[in-house]
Every structure is written in structure tokens, then in C-alpha cells.
Structure 1
Amino acid sequence: MITLTAMVYALQVNSSQADLALLAMTAPLPLLSLAFGIIGGPLADLSLSKVPHKNAGSASGLFNTSIHLGMALGAALTALVFFSTTGGTSNAALNRDAFTSVIWWVSGAFVLMWALMLLLPTRTPPRTD
């Protein structure tokens, strides 16, 4: 859902160009926010569900640190793609192209993440002690 919304957003920005109104630019953002919100809660539960109770504090701290590191790295890489395209100019057409480039890079990262997620094992084999 996130990937599809981001791709449609990039197509909308690229095709509408100068005719794109503020409402059209902000319309997909609540859908993206909803999708991220739907993922956030279950992600923490799934990630920490198998952690023994005595290690729960450390695991929770590691999980939160990883999430914040991922957000910081994602923002930095997104800015890198954007500013490598624009070079810091205020040219509207160049900024629009950079914006759509960033959305395509983020969509590609989401697709890669989904593909890698399919390689995760579905069940833990029973232990034979």
C-alpha cells in the first residue's frame, strides 16, 4: 500500500507539473501516514514477541534505536538524492524532477524491503534438546 501510494504520488506530480494544486499535493499524504501507522504497532509486537522477559528492556531499546537510526539514514539518503539532482537551485522544474526522483528511490527501497521480507523464515523449527 505504501509503495503503490508513493508511486501514484510520483506519477501525479510528474504528469500534472505546473497545474498541480496544493490540495492535490497533500491528498496522498494522509494515506501514506495511515499506512505507516498501520505498520508501526504490529512491527514492534512482531519484533519483540519472542524476546525473553528478562531481556525485554534491552530489546526494546535496541528496537527503538534501530528505528530512529533507520529514519535518520532514510532522511539523509533522501536528501542526498534530492540535492544531487537539484544542486541547491530554486528552479521549479528541477525541484519537481528531484522530488519525483526521491519518491521513485523510496518506492524502490520499499519494493526491495518487501522482496527481502519474503525471504524471512515463516516458522522457527522446533528445538530438539
Structure 2
Amino acid sequence: MLLSLGELAGATIAAKSAGRFARRLLQAGALVASAAMATHGLQADRGQADLTLVAMTAPVILIGFGLGMVGGPLADMSLARVPHEDAGSASGLFNTAMHLGLALGTALTALVFFATTGGSPDAALNRDAFITVLWWVGSLLALMWALMFCLPKQANNQGD
């Protein structure tokens, strides 16, 4: 629920300011989510006693906030230079790629988690797997940030 609230806030801000900040908004969202994942990973690494619901609230909300900033305007930015006559096909391809990415990301995240735990119910091992997944996903978000430089600076056809 906290992740969803953060994502709603991030998407709301993105919808109101995407025209002004365009690609920078997406990149800021990716950095916010990546930094929040790193913070959450460091927090979890300190020990189980410190990992309370209250302590997890801020990083989880910030992860959602950053992802919300990326999710909304990503389609507009990705499809900005597609000719009008190809918009339907490009939109379908974009949506298919997004669904494939979500499915593949979920599967790979689970693979990393269970490869780390080996299926063990040991709490310490599961915490280590959780931390590994946070670093893995946070690193991929940082890579996504770098790839966003390939997006046009504006969502409309004004060019770079």
C-alpha cells in the first residue's frame, strides 16, 4: 500500500510537470527510486531489529514515488518521434515491450531471490536475499537512467 501511495504521488506530479521537465523528470524518478532502494538495502543490512514498519515507510514511499514519476510520461517520451501514421503500431509495440519487461523483471527478481536463499526459511538468509534483490533492481534502475539519454528531450516533435 505504501508503494502504491508513493507511485500515485509521483504519477500525479509527473502528469502536472511532464511538459516542462520531460526527460529530466523521468531521469529524476529513476534516480529517486534507485537511491531509495539503496537506502532501504543499507537499512535492512544494518540488522533485523532496525527494520520496523515505521523505518521502512520512507524508503518504500520514495521507491513508489520515483517509479510513479517514470511510469506515466515514459510512453509519451518513447513515442515522441513516431510518425502519426505509425502511432498505433508503435503504441502496441511499446505496450507489449512493457508487459514483457514486467514479466521478465518479476521472473528474474524471483530467480535472484530464490537463488540466494536456496529455498531456505532462514530469516537471515531471506534478509540477505532481499538486500541482494534491492541492489540488483536499484542497479538496473541506474542503468535505465543512463539509457534515458536516448529519449528525446521533449515529448512533442520539437526535437532535441
Q: Structure 1 residues 53, 30: closer, same or farther in 2, change over 3 A? A: same
Check if 1:33 corresponds to 2:64.
Answer: yes
Distance 2:61 2:116 in 1: 27
Q: Which digits, 9 at most, give the CA deviation of each residue in 1:77-117, with x for residues without a partner?
A: 11111000111111110000000011111112122233344
1:121, CA displacement in angstroms? 7.7
Distance 1:32 1:108 in 2: 13
1:25, CA displacement in angstroms? 2.7
Q: Specify the alignment match of 1:67 in structure 2.
A: 98
Check if 1:23 corresponds to 2:59.
Answer: no
Is 2:34–2:63's contact at 8 Å kept on the other side of the alignment? no
Q: Which digits, 9 at most, give the CA deviation of each residue in 1:33-83, with x for residues without a partner?
A: 111111122211111121122211111111111111111111111111100
What TM-score does the superposition give when structure 1 sets the normalisation length? Answer: 0.84
Partner residue of 1:107 out of 138, 142, 155: 138
Check if 1:42 corresponds to 2:85.
Answer: no
Distance 2:120 2:56 in 1: 21
- Equivalent position amino acid for 1:111 in 2: A
**Percent of aligned positions that are identical:** 58
What TM-score does the superposition give when structure 2 sets the normalisation length? Answer: 0.69
Q: Structure 1 residues 48, 69: closer, same or farther in 2, change over 3 A? A: same
Residue segments in structure 1 that go unaligned for 5+ positions in a row: none
Residue segments in structure 2 that go unaligned for 5+ positions in a row: 1-31, 154-158
Is 2:80–2:152's contact at 8 Å kept on the other side of the alignment? no
SS in 2 for 1:64: helix
Partner residue of 2:112 out of 81, 94, 98: 81
SS in 1 for 2:81: coil
How many corresponding residue pairs?
Answer: 124
Is 2:78–2:151's contact at 8 Å kept on the other side of the alignment? no
SS in 2 for 1:100: helix
Over the aligned positions, Cα root-mean-square deviation in angstroms equals 2.2
